Amino acid sequence: MKKRNLFLLAVIALVLITSVAFAGGQQEGGAAATDGPKVIGFSQCDSQQAWRWAETESVQNEAKVRGYELKYNDAQAVQANQIAAVRSFIAQGVDGIVLAPQVMTGFGPVLQEAKDAGIPVVLVDRLVAENEDLYFTFIGSDFVWEGERMGEIVAEETGGKARIAELQGTPGADPTIDRKKGFENIINTYPDMNIILSQTGDFNRTKGKEVMEAFLKAEGENIDVVYCHNDDMAIGAIQAIKEYGKVPGKDILVYSIDGIKDAFQAMVDGDLNAVVECTPLLGPQAYDALEAAWRGETLPKWVMSEDGIFLQKDAASVIASRKY
């Protein structure tokens, strides 16, 4: 072979070797190897609730503060959309994923795909029932604690005697299961506290109102208390009670979890009796966790939020200081 041909062959071989090596490196490290701003994918399960607007805002604002590029997807309460969104973040080679899962089950395969791609996933506000190795950490509240505190408040304010209607959150979601469990842990110790009606309102204001209307139609004269798994449903229930011709907060006591501004206003107005807080302001902690993952550190599998308890009489003095 001539010297010139040999040289050409060597150049071609070199190009081939380097391009193969480069492709391999990219696959292994995802986009983490790029020099630009960190790219984060945020998959929000739903956007029909005031609580979620606050959470999304927290994640978006903090991305700006830290100079990240944020890819946002709203799954519109459909888990399949959410799985597709996470898959698309992986395909785009993001540096990290923040996932607010709709329900506990069904995320295993896509979490495995993220893990295989070397992309850390931080769960926010709801947990999944998958192997802990599949996500970096979960940042959120203790929902059993929330339900128990609410059970105690209702027991206290009704003298341990109440016929209760329960508006549950989304079926299969962590906060629905545990807020029910925590509440029952307490009220089951009182013989005269009973849940007489219980149905899902999907954590949603409109559905909460519809379900409350049905409750009132069936048992309007027998409901002492409505226990709502979130504030949005409580706001809907309050509306339904007014339209039915009863006084919320007096004829029918109303209790809920979250602590959004609307709930504080409802307490100030006398319509809502108490709130157990559940903070949606999780953006900074979610990114702290991702940064720890990028540094190769580990975190506990649950970073627990600290939440408070607010009775109707406290609402007026704290409403101005509420951040969501």
Q: Which residues bind ligand GYE (CB under 6 A)?
A: 49, 51-52, 125-126, 175, 203, 230, 232, 257-258, 278
Looking at beta carbons only, is 49 or 158 nearer to ligand GYE? 49
Residues 6+ apart with CB under 8 A from 159: none
The least distance separating ligand GYE from the CB of residue 104, rounded to whole angstroms, comes to 11
The least distance separating ligand GYE from the CB of residue 284, rounded to whole angstroms, comes to 17
Q: Give the separation between CA 148 and CA 188, rounded to whole angstroms.
A: 11
Looking at beta carbons only, is 29 or 172 nearer to ligand GYE? 172
Looking at beta carbons only, is 175 or 283 nearer to ligand GYE? 175
The least distance separating ligand GYE from the CB of residue 48, rounded to whole angstroms, comes to 9
The least distance separating ligand GYE from the CB of residue 30, rounded to whole angstroms, comes to 28
Looking at beta carbons only, is 93 or 135 nearer to ligand GYE? 135
Looking at beta carbons only, is 86 or 235 nearer to ligand GYE? 235
Looking at beta carbons only, is 51 or 227 nearer to ligand GYE? 51
Is the CB of residue 86 less than 8 Å from the CB of residue 31? no
Residues 6+ apart with CB under 8 A from 171: 103, 200
Is the CB of residue 51 less than 8 Å from the CB of residue 40? no
Residues facing 163 on adjacent strands:
194
Looking at beta carbons only, is 164 or 276 nearer to ligand GYE? 276
The least distance separating ligand GYE from the CB of residue 43, rounded to whole angstroms, comes to 13
- CA 134 vs. chain centroid, Å, equals 18
Q: Give the separation between CA 199 and CA 182, rounded to whole angstroms.
A: 17
Give the number of other CB atoms < 10 A from CB of residue 65. Answer: 10
Most distant CA atoms of the chain, gap in Å: 101
The least distance separating ligand GYE from the CB of residue 230, rounded to whole angstroms, comes to 4
Integer-rounded Cα Rg, in Å, for the chain is: 25
Q: For residue 236, which amino acid is it? A: G
Strand order in the sheet with 39-44: 69-74, 39-44, 96-100, 121-124, 137-140, 302-304
Is the CB of residue 49 less than 8 Å from the CB of residue 262? no
The least distance separating ligand GYE from the CB of residue 296, rounded to whole angstroms, comes to 29
